[in-house]
Amino acid sequence: MSTTPKQYAGYTVWLTGFSGAGKTTIAHRLSATLTSLAHPVEVLDGDAIRASLSKGLTFSREDRCENILRLGFVSELLSRHGVGVIVSAISPYRSARDMVRGRIPNFIEVHVKCSIGECERRDVKGLYKKVRAGEISHFTGIDDPYEEPADPEVTCCTELETVEESTAKICAELIRRKLITVPPGSLHES
């Protein structure tokens, strides 16, 4: 008698926020947590996508939206086949995020909230320093807009909570929606 592999409902966790807010850190921690629970998952990082699938796009509003739509297209394909997709991208425009939301049935928007001051203090990529030196323009949150999510499913305040607490919040939403199953005691609730 053959057994069929457990089927999972696909979903997309969309992490949006300023550069340096903690999106990538949370994405990788969430991926490790879900992988340890044997859930199929893929991380789509905005920087990696810009270097490959979206190579050549500028930072104009139109190209930023096109980048988000490309991320959304890949997310939709993967989630349609039972993969949990974790997107880590600034995605500054609400309209582009809403278009993606409209295409993906199990879409969870996560606002990775952090003040510009704290992001600049962290400056993990040295970008804020370049902005202040005049080497970079059209930088989200400084001289380009960022439209906060109107009603995100999850808000992670990375100035106030640990990466583990942020990850637990997202996992709680996935559990609430019955998109993942978790053996009792396997996640530390915060």
Cβ-in-10-Å burial (0-12, 13-18, 19+) of 134 comes to exposed
C-beta atoms surrounding 6 within 10 Å:
10
Residues marked as binding for ATP? 17-24
The one catalytic residue in 75, 79, 88, 91 is 91
* Residues in Cβ contact with 53 at an 8 Å cutoff, skipping those fewer than 6 apart: 70, 74
Q: Return d(Cα 136, Cα 146) in angstroms, integer.
A: 16
Cα–Cα separations (whole angstroms), residue 101 to 34, 68, 143, 182, 185: 22, 11, 26, 25, 32
Q: Is 166 labeled as catalytic in the residue annotation? A: no
Helices (H), the chain: 23-36, 46-51, 61-80, 94-103, 116-122, 127-132, 163-176
Binding site per annotation, positions? 17-24
Residue 167 near residue 33, CB atoms below 8 Å: yes
Question: Would you give the end-to-end CA distance of the chain in angstroms?
Answer: 42
Catalytic residue set: 91
